[in-house]
Amino acid sequence: MSWISWLEARVGFLGVPRLMQLVAVLNGLVYLLNSIKPSFVQALRLIPERILHGEVWRLVSYIFIPQVGGSPGSPFSMVFLVVYLWFLVWIGDALEHAWGAFRVTLFYFLGMVGVTIAAFFFGGTGVSAFALNSSLFFAFATLYPDVQIYVLFILPLKVKWLAYFTLAMLLIQLFGGPLSSKLAILVSFLNYFVFFGPAAYANIRDRTATDIRRRKFDKASGEGTLHRCVVCKRTEKDNPDLDFRVSRNGEEYCLDHLPK
């Protein structure tokens, strides 16, 4: 995250406060306009061929198409719309509280870049605002896994379990769809990988190093020694005053042979 901190220190003013509230309001407006004129959203969809013909607004406008089911204006659709918009605002506010406006804006922008790349180069399923909003939800679930929500206003469920279910649905598409769809889904989550990938890698690396040290400790305990320099092979039995350090590669060294 160091490069994000560097970027925030220089262009942090570009962050949009309450970004997801703005997106939610425009989603609601598009829903109303589409109820009046059902073909309205066709002019907003992310269609690479139309963008190449000069309709550049489609690079942004697709995020304002509400991802709701049912016929526009039907009771089911309107209820789902309210829940959908409320969820966007709730997740956006929580992420902004954790990250600040700039990082939420950057996360959303990188997600749009990923979706656009997927649309232009791979096509297939998953190329829509649904993939973008799903990445937003996964970010929320990563930061707040134990927050409880009520599915259908009845069933209490922790966010992490809903995230696992959503991930399972994506994995089904990932392994069952054509190559273009697989690549499209992966690229659409570019923002999530950028923000959470380095931390996940660091955790795996640290856990691996810890396991290596634990196995060495167990082995050394069986031999009657706890420390052994990998270079000179001396142990604490050779000199009780020797100090040992563990390097990043998991190897143990005495201070005389500690790598520079």
Q: For the segment 152-200, what is each residue's pLDDT rounded down to a tens digit?
A: 667 788 889 988 988 888 888 778 777 766 777 788 788 898 898 888 7
pLDDT at 57: 92
Cα–Cα distance between 123 and 121 in angstroms, integer? 6
pLDDT at 139: 93
pTM of the model: 0.74
Flag residues of the chain having pLDDT under 70. Answer: 1, 69-73, 123-128, 152-153, 180-181, 213, 216-225
Cα–Cα distance between 93 and 87 in angstroms, integer? 10
Helix (H, G, I), strand (E, B) or coil at 156: strand
pLDDT at 141: 92
pLDDT at 126: 45
Tokens of 14: 């570009």
pLDDT at 143: 92
Residue appearing with tokens 């009657």: 224
Closest CA to 119 of 40, 197, 170, 190: 190
